[in-house]
Amino acid sequence: EAQVTQNPRYLITVTGKKLTVTCSQNMNHEYMSWYRQDPGLGLRQIYYSMNVEVTDKGDVPEGYKVSRKEKRNFPLILESPSPNQTSLYFCASSSMISGVEQYFGPGTRLTVT
Amino acid sequence: GQSLEQPSEVTAVEGAIVQINCTYQTSGFNGLFWYQQHAGEAPTFLSYNVLDGLEEKGRFSSFLSRSKGYSYLLLKELQMKDSASYLCAVRDSGNTPLVFGKGTRLSVIA
C-alpha cells in the first residue's frame, strides 16, 4: 500500500530536549516536505527536499533541521524545542511531475511544555 | 510571493449544494489543488485544475479562472460526512512547493 508514515504520532516533551520526528514514504517520490498546522494559520511549510541531499527552507524554518540521506526518509529534527513549536506536524511526498497530488502522512501532534 | 484567501467558515444543509471560494495571487501559476481535511487528520487530495474551466469528480467539482485568480469547489448532495475543512493550494511555477490557504470549515447540518 502506498503510504507516508510518521513516528511518533503523539509526543509530549519538555523545553530543550532534542527530538526527531521520522517520515518515510514507499512510493519512490523525489519530493518530500514538512508542514506545521496551527489554528487560524493553516498549513505552513517548514522545509522541503527535491531529492537526496537537496533540502531548502520553507516559510517557517526557524528552530528546525532536516536531512535527506535516503530517498524514502526525511526526518524533522528539533534541536532545542520550545513551547511555540507545539503544533500538529505533517510530512508529505509527491512525484516531481507537475500536477501530481501530494500524499500526506497521518500527522504528529507535538506538545512542548 | 503568493497569497490565498478563503472564507473561514461555511454552513450548509444536508442534501444541498455548497460552493467554497478561493482567490489567489501568484507571480506564476502551475496548478490549483483542493484538499479535504477532517479534524485531526491528514489532508486528502480532492482535485486539481491547471486550465480554465470545470473539473467534475462525482459529487465534487472544481472550477478555475486563471485571469481572475479564482477557483471554487462545488459539493453536491451534501452528506454529514462532508463536514470538514477544505484547503485550496497553489503551485507558483515548475515544481515549487504548494502554498496552502488557511482553509474553509464546512459544517453540514440536518
Decide: B44 and A104 in contact? Cβ < 8 Å. Answer: yes
In the chain, the amino acid numbered B50 is V
**Does residue A1 belong to the interface with chain B, where contact is any CB pair within 8 Å?**
no
Q: Is A57 left (phi over 0), alpha (psi -120 to 50) or beta?
A: beta
DSSP B25-90: E-SS---EEEEEE-TTS--EEEEEE-SSEEEEETTEEEEEETTTTEEEEEE-S--GGG-EEEEEEE
Residues A20-62 have pLDDT tens digits of: 999 999 999 999 999 999 988 889 999 999 999 999 999 899 9
For chain A, how big is the Rg over CA atoms in Å?
13
Peptide bond connecting A106 to the previous residue in cis, omega within 30 degrees of 0 = no
Burial (CB < 10 A; 0-12, 13-18, 19+), residue B28, is exposed
B109 pLDDT more than 70: yes
* Partner residue opposite B103 with nearest CB, options A42, A90, A102: A42
**Does residue B99 belong to the interface with chain A, where contact is any CB pair within 8 Å?**
yes
Reported as half-sphere exposure (CB side, CA atoms, 13 A), residue B28 has a value of 9
Of B96 and A66, the one with more pLDDT: A66
Residues B19-52 have pLDDT tens digits of: 999 999 988 888 999 999 999 899 999 999 999 9
B97 with A88: Cβ contact below 8 A: no
A87 pLDDT more than 90: yes
Percent of chain B clearing pLDDT 70 (strictly above): 97
In the chain, the amino acid numbered A74 is F
Decide: A5 and A24 in contact? Cβ < 8 Å. Answer: yes
Of the pLDDT bands very low, low, confident and very high (cuts 50, 70, 90), residue B56 is very high
Closest A-chain CA to B4: A42
Decide: B20 and B73 in contact? Cβ < 8 Å. Answer: yes
* Partner residue opposite A99 with nearest CB, options B48, B87, B89: B48
State the cell numbers at B103: 482553509
A98 with B103: Cβ contact below 8 A: no
Q: How far is it, in rounded angstroms, from Cα A66 to Cα A26? A: 19
**Does residue B41 belong to the interface with chain A, where contact is any CB pair within 8 Å?**
yes
Grouping H, G, I as helix, E, B as strand and the rest as coil, residue A90 is: strand
Q: How far is it, in rounded angstroms, from Cα B67 to Cα B41? A: 34
A58 with B30: Cβ contact below 8 A: no
